[in-house]
Structure 1
Amino acid sequence: MELSQIIPHIEALIFASDKPLVNTELVELLNNAMGFIEDRATIEQVDAAINGIQEKYAAEFYAFELKQSGGGWQFLTKKEYHKTVAQLNGDKFLKRLSIAALETLAIIAYKQPITKSEIESIRGVNCDYAVQKLLEKDLIIITGRNEEAVGKPLIYGTSKSFMDYFGINSTDDLPKISEVLMEELVQATMVNHGAVEEIMVNETTEEPTEESIIESVENADVVLAVTTEGEIVEDKQIKEKEDDTSES
């Protein structure tokens, strides 16, 4: 079967589907639609067709693109048009998760499978309301019970809707914790014993590791940060260090 025959059918299937479609599903649907013919579509042909469709809609004059999101392929509006499309859905589209819900969701995403008591031990506060809201929004699901824990508490994990909501294909696409830490600290300037040490990531210096950044922060006497207005402000109180020689 020629790719030119397959591509329009794949586009129609993905466009009409109410859920993301994976390549194996597309092969089955294509062959069912074509009937009992000798020249059947193969997974290799569908892979090639998907690549062609992605390249086609990557052109700037299309307002949407083919993306792998929520576990399969979907046609999604390009980010440049999100505000335009938001007008069609009103406040519902623009509603955002609260800080408490986001913190709870992040813990579940990175630590799953996890119980509510484990979430609360990390956050330090009760999370009943946040968990309930996340369940209502179908961003998390109950995956079972911890049979080994006292009371056999429920175990939580992220749902397929979670991946779709954040535009990722799997939890493997989540940013690594070390990457987040480096992004937060990369512009910090630390003063240690009167010497200024800048943490910078560029083409001419070796990229710092998560451990080296944390160690530098912990050992710094003063941590200075640059605000968005360009003002240098003290980000930490001066840390007092013990001086054994002065005490003796």
Structure 2
Amino acid sequence: MNRIRVAIDGPAGAGKSTVAKMVAKRLGLLYIDTGAMYRAVTWKAIASGIPFSDEEQMVELASTIDISFDSDDDRQIVRVDGADVTQQIRSPEVTEHVSTVSAIPGVRSQLVKLQQKMAGRLGVVMDGRDIGTCVLPDAEVKIFLTASLEERARRRLEELLSKGVRTDLEEVMASLARRDEMDSTRDLAPLRKAEDAYSIDTTGLSVPEVVDRIVSICRQRLGTNQ
């Protein structure tokens, strides 16, 4: 079980990160939040004044940025060049532009190499939008999480309000709809379900229920009850 690779894909707000963290903990695997990596590059570009349209500078940034993950109790910490940017990368500004950054071929190429390198050392649970189709196409278990747009927006709104970000449900729904369109129609590694992925609609399900389903799938896939 400690060598299994679990790929969890799905649209924004489907609960991928929350579920992936808990699955990793249950199975004793490393959790890698690929979305946070793209957010880190987006945040760094904004902080450095690099325009997203300047592909050369964006690729240079992606190839030199130092992204690392740490943990504090049950909270994952994302560091960029050693600094804790866990909260900053979840800002509305970063959220609005991360799909644009993730669609830049050179940026994606750099980060995919890093993600594959991480997964080559240990068993991992990795979540994103193209993990099962592009990053880890030979993963032992592939999961595609989804939920209704309204349900995803409600979850994201609760998250933002808990962090002091003032917004409303309609605005969040519109933002998610734009991201869905960009992520699913981009030329490079679009959001889609891998043919051999298990599909789970999380609408109306609690996080523990979703985690239990995925853990059960992993154990069935490997033929173990451990």
TM-score, with structure 1 as normaliser: 0.21
TM-score, with structure 2 as normaliser: 0.22
Which structure would you say has the larger Rg? 1
